[in-house]
Amino acid sequence: MPAFVRTNDCDGCRSREEALCEYICPHDLMALDRDGSVTGHPLKAYNREPEQCWECYACVKLCPRYAIEVRHYADVVPLGASVQPIHEGQAIEWAIRFRNGTVKQFRFATRTTPPGSADPYGGEPDADLARLDDGSVLFTRGTHACDMSQFIAD
Ligand code: SF4
Ligand code: SF4
């Protein structure tokens, strides 16, 4: 079931260089109808091939106006219910609205460092690039105990 745009809330990302939903969709489905010639709604975004949408939520999370929603299958989210993420810097909050009006919210951290920064080694020593070829220094080597015999068929 596809993502769709609530046109009342979409402002066409007019204060930005490009429409963020158009930019982020990995399937190139979201489009901004700049002159209204496609939908009759100028400067509003739309999903131009809803049947191709894989509900990845990338456009929903990035839209600064919270103007995009995913219409789920009825057995997951029945009509009248909704699942709406709100992305805020270092966290994402999911608002689950049930058909009876109950709303539950779940908040999760999405980063461990401030936006624009990264900690690639996570407290481990920096990589010694000179040792990459000797086959013994994979970054995760030794961090997991695993009995490989369980994967070998008799
Ligand atoms: S990201 Fe949101 S506000 Fe921007 S064009 Fe898409 S639907 Fe409209
Ligand atoms: S949910 Fe994912 S695939 Fe569907 S329109 Fe949005 S970004 Fe594209």
Q: In sequence order, what are the beta bridge partners of 104?
A: 96
Instruction: Indicate the DSSP class of residue 127.
Output: P
How far is the centre of ligand 2, averaged over its atoms, from the C-alpha of 145 (Å)?
38
Residue ranges, the chain, pLDDT below 70? 132-146, 148, 150-154
CA gyration radius, the chain: 22
Active-site residue identified among 42, 50, 52, 54 = 54
Which pLDDT score, from 0 to 100, does residue 135 have?
60
Q: Where are the alpha helices (DSSP H) in the chain?
A: 20-24, 58-62
Domain segments of the chain as ranges: 1-71, 75-124
Q: Is-catalytic flag, 54? A: yes
Q: Write the single-letter amino acid at 99.
A: R
Q: How far apart are CA 71 and CA 73, in angstroms?
A: 7
Nearest CA to ligand 2 atom 4: 53
Q: Which phi and psi angles does 148 have, rounded to 5°? A: -65, -20
Per-residue pLDDT of 133-144, as tens digits, reads: 666 656 666 566
Say if ligand 2 is within 6 A of residue 28 CB.
Answer: no
Q: How far apart are CA 34 and CA 20, in angstroms?
A: 14
Say if ligand 2 is within 6 A of residue 5 CB.
Answer: no
Instruction: Report DSSP letters for the chain, one per residue.
Output: --EEE-TTT--TTTTSSS-HHHHH-TTS-EEEESSSTTTS-TTEEEES-GGG-----HHHHH-TT--EEE---TTTS-TT-EEEEEEETTEEEEEEE-TTS-EEEEEEE--SS-TT---TTTTSPPP-GGGGGGSS--TTTTSS---GGGGS--
Q: Return the CATH architecture of domain 1-71.
A: 2-Layer Sandwich (3.30)
Which pLDDT score, from 0 to 100, does residue 108 have?
92
How far is the centre of ligand 2, averaged over its atoms, from the C-alpha of 43 (Å)?
19
Nearest CA to ligand 1 atom 2: 63
Ligand 2 atom index nearest CA of 25: 7
pTM of the predicted model, to two decimals?
0.76
